Amino acid sequence: MMQIDAQRLATGQDDDTNPTVTPVPPTRRSGGRGMWMAAGGELLGSFLVCFAIYTAYVFGTPLYGTNLAFIAIATGVAYGVVTLVFSAFSKVQLNPAVTLAAVLGSRTRPLDGLLYVVAQLIGALAAGALFRGLLPLSQTLTSKLWLAFAVNGFDKGSVSATALNGAGAHFGIMIAIVVELVASLIIVAMFMRGTDDEDGSTQRYAAGMGLAYGLGAAITFPVSGAALNPARATGIAVFAQGQGLGAEPLGQLWVFWVAPVLAAAIVSLVVVGREIVSGGRIETESHDDGEDVKVYDSEDPQAYAGMVAGVDDQYDAQGYEAQRNGAEMSSGEQMDAEVEQQQSQTKSDANEGVETH
């Protein structure tokens, strides 16, 4: 894609007579080897994030009584570090909701997005299987005691179910949907903002995503165990099914898909609406001097060719005008010279007449 300042060309501010074309680095397009490398990054990144979260939540909470701050920090660091490490492959989405937002916002091609979601799910399932196989079990220490802190749920499946039952209360489905929706809105919005600038800092983007996930975990963990990510919720739910938990994880899993997907749709709608209002790909921006500068997209051949032809016509018109002005100036100067010569001759004749008398 190339952007051309038509005003600058038309006014002849450049020294060259040909229009100056400023190339803009093209947006990276997925395809071939790059697409598969990005998918591999999604798979491995999802595996690392999910395994880190399962481990931190399960081993930290029951053994050491870790607080909410630890959960939030561990979640944020896991996503932030993995995002930074794999940023060389892609923007590292790691989350089906984020990928959906990228597709709806035209940041990722639909086929690539589908491949990324599959990779994310495979990575999460691999992490869940490995984690489930590594749990230390005995007759008194069953998998139920471990997995209760890793699965996501509400009501009897909430991590706070035991504490709330004593008071005759519970976190129902409505509050679970609301907190997961709000947290997902924050995460998806941060992703869209972080990928809005192609020249943005990778470190800043990774830090922003880490903070968004950390805040989301602080909001949702007491209610639903901080899913935030459909792949993360699915990876552990499959291997916690039938383990005697208060509620079967797969029966409540739909909530942790619906809320993030809805958040992705909302954020994408806002972003697309903003782009439409701002004028789309071909727009006229007002400068401080009140004049308009048009930005053309070279991917539209007709608009681009018309613009170049218009600039050429303006240059031809300017050249003709300059030649005509130059010719008029030359004729005027010649006439002035002739008048001055006649005046000098008349004055000379007058002087000779005076001397004769």
Q: What is the mean pLDDT of residues 327-334?
A: 52
Residue 261 has pLDDT above 80, yes or no: yes
Write down the pLDDT at residue 307. Answer: 54
* DSSP helix/strand/coil, 22: strand
Write down the pLDDT at residue 356. Answer: 43
Judge residue 56's burial from the number of C-beta atoms within 10 Å of its C-beta, 0-12 exposed, 13-18 middle, 19 or more buried: buried
Residue showing tokens 């607080």: 67
What is the SS3 string spanning 141-156? CCHHHHHCCCCCCCHH
Q: What is the C-alpha separation between 80 and 77, in angstroms, rounded?
A: 5
* Amino acid of residue 203: Q
Percentage with pLDDT > 70 across the chain:
67
Closest CA to 257 of 61, 107, 124: 124
- At residue 321's C-alpha, the angle toward residues 316 and 324, to 5°, is 125
pLDDT interval class at 21 (50, 70, 90): very low
Residue 354 has pLDDT above 50, yes or no: no
Residue showing tokens 């995460």: 187
Structure tokens at 344: 């000098």
Residue 226 has pLDDT above 80, yes or no: yes
pLDDT interval class at 131 (50, 70, 90): very high
- Whether the CB-CB separation of 46 and 94 falls below 8 Å is answered with yes
Q: What is the mean pLDDT of residues 237-263?
A: 94
- Whether the CB-CB separation of 277 and 198 falls below 8 Å is answered with no
Structure tokens at 48: 């690392």
Judge residue 295's burial from the number of C-beta atoms within 10 Å of its C-beta, 0-12 exposed, 13-18 middle, 19 or more buried: middle
Q: What is the mean pLDDT of residues 218-231?
A: 96
- The residues pairing with 283 across neighbouring beta strands, listed in sequence order, are 295
Nearest-10 Cα torsion for 105, 107, 112, 115: -70
Residue 83 has pLDDT above 50, yes or no: yes
Residue 316 has pLDDT above 80, yes or no: no
- Whether the CB-CB separation of 258 and 177 falls below 8 Å is answered with yes
Residue 289 has pLDDT above 50, yes or no: no
Q: What is the C-alpha separation between 62 and 273, in angstroms, rounded?
A: 46
Percentage with pLDDT > 90 across the chain:
49
Q: What is the pLDDT of residues 299-311, one digit of tens each?
A: 455 554 555 455 4
Query: What is the pairing mode between strands 283-286 and 292-295?
Result: antiparallel
- Whether the CB-CB separation of 214 and 207 falls below 8 Å is answered with no
Q: pTM here? A: 0.70
H-state helical runs in the chain: 6-10, 32-64, 68-85, 96-104, 110-134, 143-147, 161-165, 173-194, 202-224, 230-240, 249-252, 255-277, 301-356
